[in-house]
Chains A and B, each alone.
Chain A
Amino acid sequence: MNAVSRFWIAAAAAAALSPLTAQAEEVRLTYLTHWAPDTVALLEEAANAYTADHPDVSISVRAVPFGDLLTTIRSGGSDGPTIASIYDLWLPALAKDGLVAPAPEPVAEEVTSEWPAGIAAAASVNGQVYGIPNEINVYALNYNKRLFEEAGIAEPPRTWQELEDAAAKLTDEASGRQGFGMINSWAAGVDHPFASLLVSNGGQLIADGKPQIDSEAALETFKLYQTMVEKGYSVPAMGTSDANTTGPFLDNFVSGKTGMIIMANWWESALKGGMGADFGNVGTAPIPVGPSGETARSISYSWLTVVNAGGGAAQQEAAWDFLAWLNGPESGENGASAMAGILQSMGILPSRSSDVEAYADALGRPFLEGYVSTLANAQGFPIVLGGQEFSEALQQVIEQLQYGQITAEEAQANAQADAASILERASR
């Protein structure tokens, strides 16, 4: 019966031999991203422009939901995508497992010289550059100007006390409106706003590879969350997110049921899409400063494109060449890169210094200006081995606090213990 089973496997293989498994002589690159189909179309356009000049290279773009991105990269192995767009938090683990290729010398030099030092560092592990940074995202306070006016609030809050007062005035249980929105069910959406408030209170999540969540500043931040929930200024059920980082938290801000929320600049396109003409109501302000903090700070994170270490030499070479072009000043308009153009279509900040310069006017628009101005005082979300697991564990603790299942003190103790054990486990 072996013949028969072989026959079936062969038949299955033949039936499934769609072009995707075919191998041609040319260099085939695949580019994995989590972008939405409309943005993917822009990337494909850029890729076509490149392959027009490089007929021996073909580039196909694959897109998966954000929630599947890391799995897809991890599970790809040597047959996986040649190029992948990754979140900087994932880099140390991917580099440790040898899944991403170090950048060749010229690319590494360009990254170090053409990008701000902090962002270049986020694309490196132990001084070795592994990818080309593209988008940078930073957190700020978004608020609804119309609701502020109605509630008689003149200015966006600058301190936590003012934040609490504004939230109290904006909250209107009868009409189902919450003063201050807090996101749940999505790790970065939970952790980053929390970390932004923490650093604006003079605290840190991790410093020198050691968790710092046992600080007084951290306890105050947990307590702020507890207060917001206990007083009803923040309704956790209004802040859920789905696997595509959209859902009720977005809908509620769009429809004026959330007065303030801490979010990153990239959601500009989602707000515009959802609000239409009302988008003008959205104001951007720095993160309010906590009692132990001195100045408004924020959290940033970046994305970068990396090259699969399992790909062939020709593939890797072509991939770096394409990426250098895509992120270089030759590919876009007015001395900007093609990548910067794509990012700008989504309202995302480019990070290459020359791109920031080229888009200076666009970055000055009211919504983004508030974000660009906080960038100077932003620090990266801690990038460590085990970072993804750390961020998911912290997310669970904060969500329990949001839903009133634990107290601020318990949250602090759990978060610190989890972080210590995860970081210890990841480094052994």
Chain B
Amino acid sequence: MIGRSILRGPRPGEAGAFLLVVIIAVAVIAAFPLFWMVLSSLKTPAESMQTPPVWFPSTPNLDAFSEVAEVIDARRSFLNSFIIATTTTAGILITSLMAGYAFAKYRFGGRDWLFALVIATMFLPPIVTLIPLYRLVTSMGFNASLVGVIVPHLANAFGIFLMRQFIAGVPDDLIDAARVDGASELRIVLSVVAPAVAPALAALALFAFVYHWNTYLWPLTVLQGNTDGYPIVLSLGRLLSYNRGAMNTGLVMAGATLAVLPPLVLFVFLQRFFVDSIVGAGVKG
């Protein structure tokens, strides 16, 4: 795709050349922080303390990465991140599919009112409910555990909204035919509706996964220092205190590199899905 546009692109004139320079400049600036992160992770501690800064490590090495594994339980942190992200995503898919179906295809009193109420929560920053929510989850006994991190997020308004938008486009005939065949409503959702909106589901899954891989405030609040349950983003914060902060730049950058990799790899391979889903939600919204 990229190659094609380079090959077939129109011959740039003077304005075109200027535009190209601007595009390259923006791309370089945008990519620079991550580039610097990777470079720094390969430097020796002395190199990262030097003034003016050294750009390219003289002897690139992975020492900082093996040190990360010593300082934090990196495998455990990745596992926790994985558990949190996948479980939450699975929950969101199921609940959004079902609720989206109900809002799109059922007729019942107060439906639009309830839908509006649910959608309104999309605009609510988490901090507004953090204090009582934290107390509530604690009194349920879910604090300091992954259950407490996951359970409150098993459904969200964005997912319901997205699913309703797409399910509304599924022909009623298809659903009625399944009903005639005697399929239960849950069965219809799973075997008729879900396949029909598969691309949207995939996009929702990607977004939910990345969001819950990256989320920081709620796990920090609910895990209460139980480092055994820390996802990688929380463990990163612990790296800063290593060596009481002196000469730890390489270590911190190596940790950041590790944490960035999974969502970034996911993005590189599934870029289209991400972009299409934003476009889809925007257009249909």
Task: Answer yes or no: do A and B interact.
Answer: yes
- A residues 209-250 with Cβ under 8 Å of B? 242-247, 250
A242 to B248 CA separation, bound complex (whole angstroms): 14
Q: How far is the CA of A274 from the CA of B143 in the complex (A)?
A: 38
Q: Which of B1-9, B235-243, B268-276 contacts A (4 or more CB under 8 A)?
A: B235-243
Please tell me which one of the listed residues A12, A65, A247, A250 contacts residue B151 in the complex, with CB atoms under 8 A apart.
Answer: A12
**Shortest Cβ distance from residue B46 to the other chain A in the assembled complex, whole angstroms:** 9
| Segment of A17-25, A95-103, A159-167, A191-199 engaged in the interface with chain B | A17-25
User: Which residues in chain A, 19-77, are within 8 Å of chain B measured between CB atoms?
Assistant: 19-21, 32, 34, 36-38, 60, 62-66, 68-69, 71-72, 75-77
Complex Cα gap A8–B86 (Å): 12
Q: When A15-B87, A80-B144 are in contact, do A8 and B154 touch as well, CB less than 8 Å? A: yes
A35 to chain B, nearest CB (A): 8
Chain B residues with CB below 8 A from A34, complex form:
241
Q: A13-B147, A36-B242, A267-B244 are in contact. Are A76 and B72 (CB under 8 A)?
A: no
Chain B at the A interface: SS class: helix
A246 pairs with B225, CB closer than 8 A:
no
Contact A270 B98 (CB under 8 A): no
Q: Assess the A270–B91 pair: CB atoms within 8 A.
A: no
- CA–CA, A34 to B154, complex, Å? 32
Chain A contact-residue range equals: 35 or more
Give Cα distance in the complex from A63 to B240, angstroms: 12
Contact between A273 and B247, CB atoms less than 8 A apart: yes
A16 to B244, Cβ gap below 8 A? no
Minimum CB distance partner of B143 in chain A: A79
Whether A360 sits at the interface, judged by CB under 8 Å, is no
CB nearest neighbor in A for B88: A12
Q: Is A4 part of the binding interface, using a Cβ–Cβ cutoff of 8 Å?
A: yes
Q: B245 near A270 (CB under 8 angstroms)? A: yes
Instruction: A75 to B130: give the CA distance in the assembly, Å.
Output: 13
Identify the closest chain B residue to A30 (Cβ). B226
Whether B83 pairs with A16 at a CB distance below 8 angstroms is yes
For the complex, what is the distance from the CA of A269 to the CA of B244, rounded to whole Å? 8
Max chain A C-beta neighbours (<10 A), residue from B90, B146, B229, B242: B146
Given known contacts A16-B147, A75-B224, A79-B144, A38 and B237 CB-to-CB distance under 8 angstroms: no
Contact A12 B150 (CB under 8 A): yes
Q: Is the CB of A244 within 8 A of B87?
A: no
| A269–B247 CA distance with the chains assembled, in angstroms | 12
B238 to chain A, nearest CB (A): 7
User: Is A421 on the interface with B (CB-CB < 8 A)?
Assistant: no
- CB of A353 closer than 8 Å to a CB of B: no
Contact of A16 among B70, B72, B87, B91 (CB under 8 A): B87
B237-259: CB near A (< 8 Å → 1, else 0) gives: 11011111111000000000000
Question: B95, B150, B226 — which one has the most chain A CB atoms within 10 A of its CB?
Answer: B226
- CB-based contact B238/A64 at 8 Å: yes
Query: Given known contacts A36-B242, A273-B247, is B227 in contact with A1 (CB within 8 Å)?
Result: no
Contact residues in B for A68 (Cβ distance below 8 Å): 220, 225
Closest Cβ of chain B: how far from A260's Cβ, in Å? 20
List, in ascending order, chain B residues with CB within 8 A of A309's CB: none
**A246 and B238 contact, Cβ closer than 8 Å, known pairs A32-B225, A72-B225, A79-B143:** no
Establish whether residues B83 and A15, one from each chain, have CB atoms under 8 Å apart when the complex forms. yes
Q: Is B262 an interface residue (CB 8 A)?
A: no
B208-243 interface code vs A (CB 8 A; 1 in, 0 out): 000000000000110011111100000001101111
Chain A residues with CB below 8 A from B150, complex form: 12, 16
Q: Give Cα A242 to B241, complex, Å.
A: 10
B80 contacts across to A, CB distance below 8 A: 18
State whether B94 touches A63 (Cβ < 8 A): no
Q: Which residue of B lies closest to A16 (CB)?
A: B146
CA distance in complex: A36, B240 (Å): 9
Contacts of A269 in B (CB 8 A): 244
Given contacts A12-B87, A16-B145, A18-B146, are A37 and B228 in contact (CB under 8 A)?
Answer: no
Within 8 A of B (CB), among A235-281: 242-247, 250, 254-255, 267, 269-270, 273-274
**Would you call A37 and B87 a contact (CB within 8 A)?**
no
Task: Determine if B171 is an interface residue (Cβ-Cβ < 8 Å).
Answer: no
Contact status B225-A9, CB under 8 Å: no
**Which residues on A sit within 8 Å (CB–CB) of B186?**
1, 4
At the interface, yes or no: A81 with Cβ under 8 Å from chain B?
yes
Tell me if A11 is interfacial: C-beta within 8 Å of chain B.
yes
**Contact of B147 with A12 in the complex, beta carbons under 8 Å:** yes
Contacts of A79 in B (CB 8 A): 138, 141, 143-144
Can you list 20 contacts pairing A with B, beta carbon distance less than 8 Å?
A: A12-B151, A15-B86, A15-B87, A15-B146, A18-B80, A21-B147, A36-B241, A64-B238, A75-B134, A76-B143, A77-B138, A77-B143, A245-B245, A254-B246, A255-B51, A270-B244, A270-B245, A270-B246, A273-B244, A346-B244
10 closest A-B pairs by beta carbon, nearest first, are A246-B245, A16-B146, A72-B225, A274-B246, A273-B246, A64-B225, A244-B241, A270-B244, A20-B228, A37-B71
| 15 new A-B contacts at CB < 8 Å, known A13-B147, A21-B145, A76-B224 | A11-B87, A11-B90, A12-B91, A15-B87, A15-B146, A16-B145, A16-B149, A18-B83, A36-B242, A62-B227, A63-B238, A63-B241, A68-B220, A68-B225, A250-B246
